[in-house]
Amino acid sequence: MIIGDVLKPFELPSVSGKNVSSFDYADKSALLVIVTCNHCKYSQSYWNRIIKLVHKYEEDNLGIVAICGNDAVQYPQDSFSNMMDISAQRQFPFEYLHDENQSVLKALGAERTPEVFLFNSKRELVYKGAIDDSWDNEATVTSVYLEDAIEYALDGVDIDYPEVPAVGCSVKWK
pLDDT in tens, 97-109: 999 999 999 999 9
Whether 146 is covered by a domain: the verdict is yes
Parent domain of 49: 11-170
Residues in the chain: 174
Residue 68's alpha-carbon distances to 38, 127, 159, in angstroms, are: 8, 19, 26
Whether 21 is covered by a domain: the verdict is yes
The total number of structural domains that make up the chain:
1
* Whole-number pLDDT of residue 139: 94
Whether 114 is covered by a domain: the verdict is yes
pLDDT in tens, 123-136: 999 999 999 999 99
The mean pLDDT of 16-27, rounded to a whole number, is: 96
* Whole-number pLDDT of residue 40: 96
Whether 6 is covered by a domain: the verdict is no
Whether 67 is covered by a domain: the verdict is yes
* Whole-number pLDDT of residue 153: 95
The mean pLDDT of 155-168, rounded to a whole number, is: 94
CATH of the domain at 158: 3.40.30.10
Q: Which residue, 123, 140, 144, is CA-closest to 52?
A: 144
Q: Buried b vs exposed e over 126-147: b needs ≥16 C-beta within 10 Å? A: bbbbbbbebbeeeeeeeebbbb
pLDDT in tens, 28-66: 999 999 999 999 999 999 999 999 999 999 899 999 999
The mean pLDDT of 144-167, rounded to a whole number, is: 95
* Whole-number pLDDT of residue 29: 95
Whether 1 is covered by a domain: the verdict is no
Query: Average pLDDT over the chain, rounded to whole?
Result: 96
